[in-house]
Chain A
Amino acid sequence: MKQEEDLIIKFATANINLYRIMSKDIKVRKGLDLRLKGEAEKAISNAPKSKTFAIKPSEFHLVTPKLLVKEGAKVKVGDPIFYSKANKEVKIVSPVSGTLTAIERGAKRVILKIVIEADAQQEVTDFGSLSVESSDGDTIKSRLLEGGVWPFIKQRPYDVVADPETAPRDIFISGFSSAPLAPDYDFVLKGKEKELQAALTALSKMTAGKVHVGVRDKKSSVFSSMRNIELHSVAGPHPAGNVGTQIGMLAPVNKGETIWTLEAQNLVIIGELLLTGRFNPERIIAVAGSSVKTPKYYRAALGMSLNGIIKDAGLNEDNVRVINGNVLTGVKEPMDGFLSYYANMISVIPEGDDYEFFGWNKPIFNKISTSRALTFSWMQPNKKYELNTNTNGEHRAFVLTGKYEEVFPLDIYPLQILKACMIQDLDEMEAMGMYEVAPEDFALTEFVCVSKQPHQEIIRKGLDLMYKEIG
Chain B
Amino acid sequence: MGLKENLHKLKKKYEGKKMAPAFNALHTFLYLPNETTHSGSHIRAADDLKRTMNTVILALVPCLLFGMFNAGYQHYAAIDETLRAAPLANFFTMDNFLMGCITILPLVIVSYGVGLAVEFLFAVVKGHEVEEGYLVTGMLVPLIVPVDIPLWMLTVAIIFGVVIGKEVFGGTGMNILNPALTIRAFLFFAYPTWMSGDKVWVHGAVERSKEIAGGANLDAISGETILGSYAQNQDIMYSLQDMFLGFIPGSVGETSKLLIIIGALFLIFTKVGSWRIILSTLVGALIMGLIFNGVISAGWIEESSKFYGLMNVPFWQHLIIGSILFGAVYMATDPVSAAQTNKGKWIYGFLIGFISIMIRVFNPAYPEGVFLAILLMNVFAPTIDHYVLQGNIKRRQKRLKVKTA
Which residue numbers of A lie inside 8 Å of B, CB to CB? Answer: 8-9, 12, 16, 34, 36, 180, 252, 254-257, 321, 323, 327-330, 332, 347, 349, 351-361, 364, 367-375, 377, 387-402, 405, 411-413, 415-416, 431-433, 439, 442-443, 446-452, 454-457
Q: Is the CB of A360 within 8 A of B28?
A: yes
Q: Is the CB of A394 within 8 A of B133?
A: no
- Contacts known (A373-B270, A443-B41); A361 close to B51, Cβ less than 8 A: yes
Of the candidates B32, B47, B345, the one whose C-beta lies within 8 Å of that of A375 is B47
Point out the residues of chain A lying under 8 angstroms from B133, CB to CB: 399
Q: Is the CB of B32 within 8 A of A355?
A: yes
How far, in angstroms, from A329 to B45 measured CA to CA in the complex?
A: 15
Point out the residues of chain A lying under 8 angstroms from B276, CB to CB: 402
Q: Is the CB of B45 within 8 A of A448?
A: yes
Separation in Å of the A394 CB from the closest CB of chain B? Answer: 6
- Contacts known (A367-B45, A374-B55, A456-B41); A399 close to B393, Cβ less than 8 A: no
Separation in Å of the A381 CB from the closest CB of chain B? Answer: 15
Separation in Å of the B181 CB from the closest CB of chain A? Answer: 17
Closest to B129 in A: A394
Of the candidates A254, A347, A400, A456, the one whose C-beta lies within 8 Å of that of B39 is A456
How far, in angstroms, from A36 to B42 measured CA to CA in the complex?
A: 13
Q: Is the CB of A355 within 8 A of B389?
A: no
- Contacts known (A8-B405, A391-B35); A397 close to B174, Cβ less than 8 A: yes
Point out the residues of chain B lying under 8 angstroms from A377, CB to CB: 46
Q: Is the CB of A400 within 8 A of B52?
A: yes
Point out the residues of chain A lying under 8 angstroms from B385, CB to CB: 416
How far, in angstroms, from A367 to B404 measured CA to CA in the complex?
A: 48
Point out the residues of chain A lying under 8 angstroms from B274, CB to CB: 401-402
Q: Is the CB of B38 within 8 A of A402?
A: no
Known: A254-B399, A371-B47. 19 other contacts (CB 8 A): A36-B43, A329-B41, A356-B31, A360-B28, A360-B29, A371-B270, A372-B271, A393-B51, A394-B129, A396-B131, A398-B173, A401-B340, A416-B340, A416-B341, A431-B393, A448-B45, A450-B47, A452-B44, A456-B40
How far, in angstroms, from A452 to B336 measured CA to CA in the complex?
A: 16
Q: Is the CB of B392 within 8 A of A323?
A: no
Which residue numbers of B lie inside 8 Å of A, CB to CB? Answer: 4, 7-8, 28-52, 54-55, 129, 131-133, 170-174, 269-272, 274, 276, 335-336, 338, 340-342, 345, 385, 389, 392-393, 395-397, 399-400, 402-405
Point out the residues of chain A lying under 8 angstroms from B272, CB to CB: 371, 373, 400
- Contacts known (A377-B46, A392-B46, A400-B52); A327 close to B392, Cβ less than 8 A: no
How far, in angstroms, from A404 to B330 measured CA to CA in the complex?
A: 22
- Contacts known (A352-B36, A389-B36); A373 close to B41, Cβ less than 8 A: no
Q: Is the CB of B52 within 8 A of A373?
A: yes
How far, in angstroms, from A88 to B394 measured CA to CA in the complex?
A: 39
Q: Which of B385, B392, B399 has the largest number of chain A CB atoms within 10 A? A: B392
Q: Is the CB of B32 within 8 A of A393?
A: yes
How far, in angstroms, from A431 to B41 measured CA to CA in the complex?
A: 26
- Contacts known (A367-B46, A369-B47); A394 close to B41, Cβ less than 8 A: no
Point out the residues of chain A lying under 8 angstroms from B40, CB to CB: 329, 439, 442-443, 446, 454-457
Point out the residues of chain A lying under 8 angstroms from B4, CB to CB: 355, 357
Point out the residues of chain A lying under 8 angstroms from B131, CB to CB: 396-397
Q: Is the CB of B50 within 8 A of A360?
A: yes
How far, in angstroms, from A374 to B171 measured CA to CA in the complex?
A: 27
Point out the residues of chain B lying under 8 angstroms from A411, CB to CB: 392, 395
How far, in angstroms, from A443 to B170 measured CA to CA in the complex?
A: 27
Point out the residues of chain A lying under 8 angstroms from B42, CB to CB: 321, 323, 327-328, 330, 332, 347, 349, 389
How far, in angstroms, from A18 to B214 measured CA to CA in the complex?
A: 91
